[in-house]
């Protein structure tokens, strides 16, 4: 994907129902982790998830793309820093993540593999009515697995930007993946995964597991 991006900041457990399905209480402050820009792929590309990884899940999310450098941004100013939005699929090697979590190790590998960040072509934020009122949907082979609403986020986009930039400078082009609603499930070889947000876009990818 031809996008200048120094980092992808992802938010974990930002929808209470998803935190519950992973047996976590909703966190008291945003849970942050990073995916490398090398994990990005576009609509139509293949998700490469070798079988040896064990369970690999989809996670449909709203992505915010920074229009300018941001540091110590207030919640009031936060939205003016978002130039574009997109649909993001935070592919997760769940078995590797769970194993790392239970042994107290970082779970970077489970999130950072090549092809583990499918994203739709970004559209201007100004073309979207209200980013707090968007429907998220994810289908596998045509069947709905995830359905959610950005209004159900535990921490709003404004709160996330303010929280992140208190600690970490966001550069123009950096991506924030805002978390996934419930309904995550494992992917198999040949699956067609479609993540969509009406009014924002759709990213469709085939899964390769060998």
Residues forming contacts to Mg ion in the complex (CB under 5 A) are: 59, 90, 180
In the three-class reduction of DSSP (H, G, I as helix; E, B as strand; rest coil), residue 129 is classed as coil
In the three-class reduction of DSSP (H, G, I as helix; E, B as strand; rest coil), residue 111 is classed as helix
Which of residues 27 and 69 has its CB atom nearest to Mg ion in the complex?
27
Q: Closest distance between Mg ion and the C-beta of residue 15, in Å? A: 9
Distance CA(37)–CA(4), nearest Å, equals 9
Residue 72 DSSP symbol: S
Which distant-in-sequence residues (6+ apart) come within 8 Å of 137 by Cβ?
60, 144, 146, 147, 148, 195, 196, 197
Which of residues 90 and 137 has its CB atom nearest to Mg ion in the complex?
90
Give the DSSP H/E element, type plus range, for residue 175: strand 175-177
Q: Closest distance between Mg ion and the C-beta of residue 177, in Å? A: 6
Which distant-in-sequence residues (6+ apart) come within 8 Å of 148 by Cβ?
15, 17, 60, 135, 136, 137, 180, 181, 182, 183
Q: Closest distance between Mg ion and the C-beta of residue 104, in Å? A: 20
Q: Closest distance between Mg ion and the C-beta of residue 180, in Å? A: 5
Which of residues 59 and 194 has its CB atom nearest to Mg ion in the complex?
59
Give the DSSP H/E element, type plus range, for residue 63: strand 60-66
Distance CA(105)–CA(68), nearest Å, equals 33
Which of residues 60 and 129 has its CB atom nearest to Mg ion in the complex?
60
Which of residues 69 and 95 has its CB atom nearest to Mg ion in the complex?
95
Residue number closest to Mg ion, CB atom: 90
């Amino acid at each position: 994907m031809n996008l200048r991006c120094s980092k992808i900041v992802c938010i974990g457990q930002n929808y209470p129902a998803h935190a519950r399905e992973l047996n976590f209480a909703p966190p008291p402050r945003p849970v942050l982790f990073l995916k490398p820009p090398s994990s990005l792929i576009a609509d139509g590309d293949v998700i490469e998830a070798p079988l040896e990884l064990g369970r690999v899940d989809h996670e449909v999310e709203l992505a915010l793309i920074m229009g300018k450098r941001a540091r110590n941004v207030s919640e009031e100013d936060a939205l003016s820093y978002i130039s574009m939005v997109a649909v993001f699929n935070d592919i997760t090697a769940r078995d590797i993540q769970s194993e790392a979590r239970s042994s107290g190790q970082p779970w970077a590998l489970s999130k950072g593999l090549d092809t583990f960040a499918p994203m739709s072509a970004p559209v201007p934020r100004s073309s979207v009515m209200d980013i707090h009122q968007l429907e998220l949907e994810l289908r596998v082979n045509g069947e709905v697995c995830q359905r959610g609403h950005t209004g159900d986020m535990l921490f709003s986009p404004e709160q996330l930007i303010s929280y992140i930039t208190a600690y970490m400078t966001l550069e123009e082009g950096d991506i924030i993946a805002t978390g996934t609603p419930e309904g995550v499930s494992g992917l198999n070889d040949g699956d067609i995964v479609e993540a969509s947000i009406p009014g924002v876009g759709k990213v469709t990818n085939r899964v390769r597991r060998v």
